[in-house]
Chains A and B, each alone.
Chain A
Amino acid sequence: MSNDLAWINAAISAARPQAVGALLRYFRDLDTAEEAFQDACLRALNNWPKNGPPRDPAAWLIMVGRNAALDGVRKRSRQTELPPEEKLSDLDDAEARAVDRIDASDYRDDVLRLLFICCHPDLPPTQQIALALRIVSGLSVKQIARAFLVSEAAMEQRITRAKRIVAEGDAQFETPGPVERAERLAAVAAMLYLVFNEGYSAGDNPARAQLCGEAIRLTRLLLRLYQTEPEIMGLLALMLVQHARTPARFDAEGQIVLLEDQDRSLWNRQMINEGVALIDKAMRHRRPGAYQVQAAIGALHARAATPADTDWPQIDRLYASLERLTPSPVITLNRAVAVSKVAGPEAALEMIAPLSDKLSGYFHFHGLTGALNLEIGRHAEARVAFDRAIALANTAAEATHIRQHLDRLMLDHAPAGQENAG
């Protein structure tokens, strides 16, 4: 039955991080772990429709994968035969025992380790993402290639290279201590947010947009393993409140719709509710962090029924604490938006003026400078800023958005004799 097959596929991909993570701990080699898992999946597809899904798919896949890989080694060395398929079908008892042995804390560290090896410092961000999507999520090379708009062969090569770098590094297989675990969690959280942003910035490319869902799935898994980590709650909440807006972020032509112009009835309330619940939980710990604060900002937007209801003073305060936690000109730039609402565009322009050196190559700096100048009627300055922005646009949608501002400026306020300026 196709329902069964869909369920089996979903169960296999849900079990994958745990199963590959455990197999990696056994074999200490990524390729062997992946092959063993692949083998176990083939057997699951044969076995589960006949015998029903096992109680614990991950434990089943780990057991069978490990046996298959060991058999493979034995077969290669002694040419003995594989055990008959029937022997594998009655694994219930063995499986139960295995579950007892592999306790929850092993599983936790296995999944964390698997995610962590993708954060190898020698790997550039895009390769970290590609590697995580391949080995943790189990996306095909073809799917990943499509998401990154490169050929399958090029992506295959990139992933192979990334795997080699990881294999040459000294992955730690001992149980990590608390400090090391915290460091790994932070690195993994950053990598998962990269995956999310890769999808979020994709515009209306559906192959890449699915990365948001994948990042949410993995972060939820991480939080389930580390239930009391406020920053992981914050990260998941941040992804959820941002992703909730996706249905409203682009119009029918694929153009960006700004937050204040979005149809808020299109926002995914379920995701917002989940995000808000997580922020509430995180705040109780009184251990603020960058993800929690950003999520809280997102939630304030999500809670406003109309743009006019937005609690800008509170958003300004949250950005101020974000500036303290992780000082960066981009955060100050974002804060300037809140400041423009609370204290007016002039105050915001004053705030971002000192950033002009550091952010001279940043699309959003010029976009905001243009918008603020436009608001107070400085059209010439606005036009200069918009011209710079358009040259720096990262996506067609961004460029089109600025182009619309420029077109409106040209139409409404064409300054005589300056048509060719900028």
Chain B
Amino acid sequence: MLYALLCYNDEDVVWGWDKKQDGEVMARLGVVRDRLEAAGKLGPSLRLLPTTAATTFRKSDPPLVIDGPFAETKEQLLGIYIIDVADLDEALQVARDLGEANPGGAYEIRPLAVYNAGSAEAVAKGVVAA
């Protein structure tokens, strides 16, 4: 079963980390990711830039373009993992492991309906930020 782990956290906190703190959290998450990857359970994972960089397109008539995220919330959607696991229990275990590596916030665990890998070159190379 494919699940999306939607990572919610306070972006003021996460984007306030200095380089060292960020590196430490990423290293701890990397351990969990490597384990999942070795077991063939990890699909794409991605980190989003802060909501200040976001634009929202409201499909109203006429459509509205609004600066900022879709919803103003205490915690923001900051990243996504796609995982392939047997059931919800296993998905929750992944969330637990990731949460231990990076405390604070929440993961929303959403089963996938459709998944297209797409063909964008940067996605195929797996280095969107570069």
> Are B52 and A104 within 8 A (Cβ)?
no
* A261 in the interface (beta carbon within 8 A): no
CA distance A65 to B104 in the complex (A): 22
> Are A227 and B49 within 8 A (Cβ)?
no
> Are A274 and B13 within 8 A (Cβ)?
no
Q: Which residue of A lies closest to B49 (CB)?
A: A274
* A273 in the interface (beta carbon within 8 A): yes
> Are B50 and A11 within 8 A (Cβ)?
no
> Are A220 and B15 within 8 A (Cβ)?
yes
> Are A11 and B52 within 8 A (Cβ)?
no
CA distance A311 to B121 in the complex (A): 25
Q: Which residue of B lies closest to A4 (CB)?
A: B103
A-B contact count (CB 8 A): 72
Report if A273-B16 is in contact (Cβ < 8 Å); known contacts: A104-B72, A227-B67: no
CA distance A338 to B15 in the complex (A): 34
> Are A3 and B16 within 8 A (Cβ)?
no
Residue among A223, A224, A278 with max Cβ neighbours from chain B (10 Å)? A224
Report if A278-B53 is in contact (Cβ < 8 Å); known contacts: A3-B103, A104-B72, A227-B68: yes
* B10 in the interface (beta carbon within 8 A): yes
CA distance A53 to B10 in the complex (A): 12
* B34 in the interface (beta carbon within 8 A): no
Residues in chain B near residue A67, CB distance under 8 A: none
> Are A210 and B18 within 8 A (Cβ)?
yes
Residues in chain A near residue B51, CB distance under 8 A: 224
Among residues 173 to 228 in chain A, which have CB atoms less than 8 Å away from a CB atom of chain B? 210, 213, 217, 220-221, 223-224, 227-228
Residues in chain B near residue A57, CB distance under 8 A: 10
Q: Which residue of A lies closest to B47 (CB)?
A: A270
Q: What 0/1 readout, one digit per residue, does chain B (22-65) give for beta carbons within 8 Å of chain A? A: 00100010000000000000000000011111010000000001
Closest-CB distance, A195 to chain B (whole angstroms): 15
* A10 in the interface (beta carbon within 8 A): yes
Residues in chain A near residue B68, CB distance under 8 A: 227-228
* A56 in the interface (beta carbon within 8 A): yes
Among residues 298 to 316 in chain A, which have CB atoms less than 8 Å away from a CB atom of chain B? none
> Are A11 and B129 within 8 A (Cβ)?
no
> Are A236 and B52 within 8 A (Cβ)?
yes
> Are A220 and B17 within 8 A (Cβ)?
no
Residues in chain A near residue B100, CB distance under 8 A: 3
* A78 in the interface (beta carbon within 8 A): no
Residues in chain A near residue B21, CB distance under 8 A: 6, 10
Closest-CB distance, B67 to chain A (whole angstroms): 5
Residues in chain A near residue B50, CB distance under 8 A: 220, 224, 274
Pick the contact of B12: A14, A228, A278 (CB < 8 A): A14
> Are A281 and B18 within 8 A (Cβ)?
no
Closest-CB distance, B47 to chain A (whole angstroms): 9
> Are A224 and B129 within 8 A (Cβ)?
no
Among residues 11 to 38 in chain A, which have CB atoms less than 8 Å away from a CB atom of chain B? 11, 13-15
CA distance A227 to B71 in the complex (A): 12
CA distance A200 to B49 in the complex (A): 23
CA distance A228 to B68 in the complex (A): 8
Among residues 85 to 117 in chain B, which have CB atoms less than 8 Å away from a CB atom of chain A? 100-101, 103-104
> Are A14 and B16 within 8 A (Cβ)?
yes
Closest-CB distance, A249 to chain B (whole angstroms): 16
* A391 in the interface (beta carbon within 8 A): no
> Are A221 and B12 within 8 A (Cβ)?
yes
Closest-CB distance, B120 to chain A (whole angstroms): 15
Residues in chain A near residue B52, CB distance under 8 A: 220, 223-224, 227, 233, 236, 278
* B124 in the interface (beta carbon within 8 A): no
* A43 in the interface (beta carbon within 8 A): no
Q: What 0/1 readout, one digit per residue, does chain A (356-400) give for beta carbons within 8 Å of chain B? A: 000000000000000000000000000000000000000000000
Closest-CB distance, B101 to chain A (whole angstroms): 8
Report if A11-B67 is in contact (Cβ < 8 Å); known contacts: A210-B18, A273-B49: no
Closest-CB distance, A233 to chain B (whole angstroms): 8
* A284 in the interface (beta carbon within 8 A): yes
Q: Which 9 A-B pairs have the closest CB atoms?
A: A14-B12, A227-B68, A14-B13, A277-B53, A7-B103, A223-B52, A227-B67, A228-B67, A270-B129
**Chain B interface residues (CB < 8 Å from chain A):** 10-19, 21, 24, 28, 49-53, 55, 65, 67-68, 72, 74, 100-101, 103-104, 129-130
Sample (27) of A-B pairs whose CB atoms are under 8 Å apart? A3-B28, A3-B100, A4-B103, A6-B21, A10-B17, A10-B21, A10-B104, A11-B10, A11-B104, A14-B10, A14-B16, A53-B103, A104-B72, A213-B19, A217-B15, A217-B16, A220-B12, A220-B15, A220-B50, A224-B52, A227-B52, A227-B67, A228-B67, A228-B68, A270-B129, A273-B129, A281-B53
Q: A14-B13, A53-B104, A281-B53 are in contact. List 7 more A-B contacts (CB 8 A).
A: A3-B100, A6-B24, A7-B104, A14-B10, A15-B12, A224-B52, A227-B68
